[in-house]
Amino acid sequence: VTIFNNVEHLPPDALFDIKKRLSQDTRPVKVDLGIGAYRDNSGKPWVLPSVRSAESQLQKDPNFNHEYLPIAGLPSFTTGAAKTIFGDDYDSTRVISVQSISGTGALHIAAKFIEKILPGRIVYLSNPTWPNHKAIFEGQRLTTAQYPYWNASTKSLQLDGFLDTVKTAPEGSIFVLHACAHNPTGLDPSKDQWAQILDKMVEKNHIVLFDSAYQGFATGDLDRDAYAVRLGLTKLQKVAPVFVCQSFAKNVGMYGERVGCFHLVIPDQSVEINASVKASLSSQLAKIVRSEVSNPPAYGAKIVSTILNTPELNKQWHADMVTMSSRINSMRHQLRDHLVELGTPGNWDHIVGQCGMFSFTALTPEMVQRLEQNHAVYMVSSGRASIAGLNEGNVLYVAKAIDEVVR
């Protein structure tokens, strides 16, 4: 027996396996409601007009080159990224921003940082959450636990259970909160609920990690979607650090270019202490990045930096965000309306009540399987549908398919 003969064969990643089955499916009509990637009304990936302009601007720049970036990334990008999430007037004396391999890489930096600097703290994840959260934190040998989030019977936030867990968790635990457009439920706390949640975090000196992968998709407005993060910074600034893991995959449509940023906000003390803590922590983060990726990828960061730092392009990007979010919203309404017209058993209002790219449809795993088998409509077994996969050409087809499997 050689050393690898008994290595366990792991199951394929659920989302990427859907893509594989779909590409092998020979039926003429297929619908991909699996992966969270925006599609235009003809079902095609969309290169944002702001990205096209930034790219052509870059290519015309005589100084453009493919040199290495600094270890912490492209400064004009990381500063622009911080302003996008914290607002223009954020306190840069307390924020360390390090470029990352999209949102996943930012979470990975966070996990490595926690393992090194804050060992032994439990990382709390929402139930349910993006499955990679658990894999990323446990991959760094951190212990994860869950906090209640989705109440399946009322299709609303399980606020009491959530707050109870915040109260009973060991002091100084780490809570991963979805900044907006929660994946997979499409359900965000209200402003009042955010205040209650964050106040409880302060009471227990917990550390909040905001995962911001969908800024702009909840309301169509990038600033409004930063509400929870900005409130968190105000409430938590004296007591605890705040982590933000920021992805530009979805809101700039740069999925494969892996553009992201990890921000660490240090607790506010005196100017001197802030400066010295910031310098030490920056050196720790630089060491993590250096040993993992040496320095981050440049191309996507240059495009996003151009968008963030050129006023017309920034304006165009905000408009592109509205284009994407309003098309998704219109699809939510059309799907719900078709289901109502078809008399499909059940109430489908949650589809329009939820926000972001996804709807947590409440279809059972069996129904999801029949959707795939009988109708070539693909989604994950949890019943999460990527609404961005719907368009004028397939939404009625999908409604009829759902109607058939629900009856």
Catalytic residues: 130, 211, 250
Closest contact distance (angstroms) between CB of 210 and ligand PLP is 10
From the list 97-105, 112-120, 193-201, 287-295, the region that binds ligand PLP by CB under 6 A is 97-105
**Residue 221 buriedness (CB in 10 A; 0-12 / 13-18 / 19+):** middle
**Residues 110, 166, 207, 213: which binds ligand PLP (CB under 6 A)?**
213
Mention every residue, 6+ apart, whose C-beta is less than 8 A from residue 315.
none
User: Binding pattern to ligand PLP, positions 265-294, x when CB under 6 A?
Assistant: ------------------------------
Phi, psi for 10 (deg, rounded to 5): -80, 155
Q: Distance between CA 259 and CA 246 in Å, rounded? A: 9
Tell whether residue 391 is a contact of ligand PLP (CB under 6 A).
Answer: no
By CB under 6 A, name the one of 34, 73, 80, 103 that touches ligand PLP: 103
DSSP 33-102: --S---B-TTS-B---HHHHHHHHHHHH-TT---PPPPTT--HHHHHHHHHHHH-TT--GGGEEEEEEEH
Q: What CA–CA distance (Å, rounded) separates 49 from 282?
A: 35
Q: Does 130 bind ligand PLP (CB under 6 A)?
A: yes
Of 218 and 399, nearer to ligand PLP (C-beta) is 218
* Per-residue tokens: 55: 């790219």
Segment contacting ligand PLP (CB under 6 A): 98-106, 146-154, 315-323, 393-401?
98-106
Least distance to ligand PLP, CB of residue 215, Å: 11
Task: Select the residue interacting with ligand PLP from 104, 251, 305, 394 (CB under 6 A).
Answer: 104
Closest to 200 measured CA to CA, from 149, 244, 159: 159
Nearer to ligand PLP, 104 or 316 (CB): 104
Alpha helices in 259-309 (DSSP H): 271-292, 299-309
Asked if 18 is part of the footprint of ligand PLP (rule: CB under 6 A), the reply reads: no
* Residue pair 402/363 in contact by the 8 Å Cβ criterion: yes
Closest by CA to 176, choosing from 120, 228, 217, is 228
User: Judged by CB under 6 A, how many residues of this single chain contact ligand PLP?
Assistant: 12
Using CB under 6 A as the binding rule, the residues of this chain from 234 to 263 that contact ligand PLP are 247, 249, 260
128 beta partners: none
The Cα diameter of the chain in Å comes to 67
Task: Rank residues 129 and 306 by Cβ distance to ligand PLP and give the closer one.
Answer: 129
Contact 116, 289 (CB under 8 A): no
Cβ nearer to ligand PLP, comparing 249 with 351: 249
Q: Which stretch binds ligand PLP (CB under 6 A): 101-109, 302-310, 325-333, 380-388?
A: 101-109
Name the one range near ligand PLP by CB under 6 A: 62-70, 99-107, 148-156, 374-382: 99-107
- The H or E element that residue 259 is part of is strand 259-265
167-196: which residues touch ligand PLP (CB under 6 A)? 178, 183
Closer residue to ligand PLP (CB): 82 or 249:
249
Instruction: For the CB of residue 370, give the shortest distance to ligand PLP in the complex, in Å.
Output: 26
CA distance 211 to 196: 19
Q: What amino acid occupies position 60? A: K
User: Looking at 22-30, 84-92, 96-104, 134-142, which segment touches ligand PLP (CB under 6 A)?
Assistant: 96-104
- The reply on whether position 102 binds ligand PLP by CB under 6 A is yes
* From 34, 36, 241, 356, residue interacting with ligand PLP (rule: CB under 6 A): 36
Q: Which is nearer to ligand PLP, 233 or 380 (CB)?
A: 380
Total Cβ atoms within 10 A of residue 75: 13
Of 114 and 249, nearer to ligand PLP (C-beta) is 249
Please, are residues 257 and 103 in contact by the beta-carbon 8 Å criterion? Answer: no
Closest by CA to 187, choosing from 346, 347, 356, is: 356
Name the minimum Å distance from CB 245 to ligand PLP: 7
- Pick the piece of the chain touching ligand PLP (CB under 6 A) from 46-54, 87-95, 102-110, 343-351: 102-110
3-state secondary structure of 324: helix
Report in angstroms how near the CB of residue 181 gets to ligand PLP at its nearest: 9
By CB under 6 A, name the binding residues for ligand PLP: 36, 102-104, 130, 178, 183, 211, 213, 247, 249, 260
